[in-house]
């Protein structure tokens, strides 16, 4: 007979997670899932983090893991390709949105991933209304553009992660210098450089 696990040892609501691809959700599906979670007692704290995550690096991992400690269910909003290009310029993103989303979803502690467009994540915030909106250390609570919106439903804005010493743009530039690529590469050329770098460094 299978023994039941005491409630106190089950961990948080995101412990029993589907595979990484299944955690990449369309917004309506995510909203239904979060609505079900919010019917639980005690009510779990929903945390939203966001970013481009173009070439995942250690700074991203530390940010996401720190965000997860702030609540019980971590949603990560990832910029779609159009908004990433608008924010970072020609040649970006290096990795397409679905690949970036799946990589983020595979990070330990990430419970759901959703794509979004626009220069800010305000549209997702308005629909999701998380308890905590978490930003990286390149922000302060005063400079988070969505802070007033989050506080309108008594949400909190929190800063998490290590000091901003890592950036995808710096990583891409380093790859370009090492392999003779241009500083603002086309995506296909960049991915060839990344594959070459991986073989060289392994």
Separation in Å, CA 189 to CA 13, 92, 183: 41, 11, 11
The CATH fold of domain 17-164: Rossmann fold (3.40.50)
Considering the entire predicted model, what is its pTM? Answer: 0.77
Nearest one of 156, 120, 157 to 141, comparing CA atoms: 157
Tell me the pLDDT of the chain (202 aa) as tens digits: 434 333 333 333 444 566 778 999 999 999 999 999 999 999 999 999 999 999 888 899 999 999 999 999 999 999 999 999 999 888 889 999 999 999 999 999 999 999 999 989 999 999 999 999 999 998 998 999 999 999 999 999 999 988 766 666 666 666 667 787 554 444 444 444 334 333 333 2
Question: At a CB cut-off of 8 Å and minimum separation 6, what does 106 contact?
Answer: 20
CATH 3.40.50.620 domain span(s) along the chain = 17-164
């Amino acid at each position: 007979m299978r023994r039941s696990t005491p409630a106190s040892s089950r961990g948080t609501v995101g412990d029993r997670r589907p595979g990484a691809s299944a955690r990449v959700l369309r917004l309506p599906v995510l909203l239904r899932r979060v609505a079900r979670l919010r019917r639980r007692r005690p009510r779990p704290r929903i945390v939203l983090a966001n970013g481009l995550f173009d070439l995942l690096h250690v700074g991203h991992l530390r940010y996401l893991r720190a965000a997860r400690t702030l609540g019980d269910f971590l949603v990560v909003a990832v910029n779609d390709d159009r908004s990433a290009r608008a924010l970072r310029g020609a040649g970006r993103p290096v990795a397409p949105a679905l690949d970036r989303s799946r990589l983020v979803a595979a990070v330990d502690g990430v419970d759901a991933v959703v794509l979004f467009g626009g220069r800010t994540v305000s549209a997702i915030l308005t629909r999701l209304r998380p308890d905590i909106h978490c930003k990286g250390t390149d922000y302060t609570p005063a400079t988070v553009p969505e802070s007033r919106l989050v506080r309108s439903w008594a949400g909190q804005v929190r800063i998490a992660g290590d000091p901003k010493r890592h950036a995808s743009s710096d990583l891409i530039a380093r790859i370009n210098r090492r392999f003779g690529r241009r500083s603002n590469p086309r995506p296909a050329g960049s991915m060839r450089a990344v594959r070459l770098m991986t073989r060289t460094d392994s």
